[in-house]
């Protein structure tokens, strides 16, 4: 194993991590900004108004994207395990 090979595996792992986390984080960001905008316009400063819609939206996206996320993680892990003999050389 060379340094370039290890860096390549690490880069792929970071890419997979970002792809898996992106849908949930983006929806959380969008819902958070929308709720903050709503609070600023209506001058309602209720703390639970921020958390409940964000949690519901994140759970919905997590349930919807979970098969894709698991497929991506399983493909990455399968490729790592299949190529273990090549890594040892």
Q: What is the pLDDT of residue 28?
A: 95
What secondary structure letter does DSSP report for 46? Answer: -
| Predicted confidence pLDDT, tens digits, the chain (89 residues) | 788 888 999 999 999 999 999 999 999 999 999 999 998 899 888 878 888 999 999 999 999 999 999 999 999 999 999 988 888 87
C-alpha of 22 from chain center? 4
Give pTM, 2 decimals. Answer: 0.81
| Token code pair at residue 36 | 């903050």
Closest listed residue to residue 56, CA positions, set 28, 16, 21, 23: 28
């Amino acid at each position: 194993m060379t340094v370039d090979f290890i860096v390549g595996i690490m880069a792929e792992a970071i890419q997979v991590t970002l792809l898996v986390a992106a849908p949930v984080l983006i929806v959380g960001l969008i819902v958070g900004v929308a709720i903050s905008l709503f609070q600023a316009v209506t001058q309602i400063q209720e703390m639970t108004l921020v958390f409940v819609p964000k949690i519901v939206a994140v759970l919905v996206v997590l349930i919807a994207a979970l098969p894709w996320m698991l497929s991506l993680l399983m493909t990455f892990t399968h490729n790592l395990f299949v190529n273990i003999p090549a890594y040892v050389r």
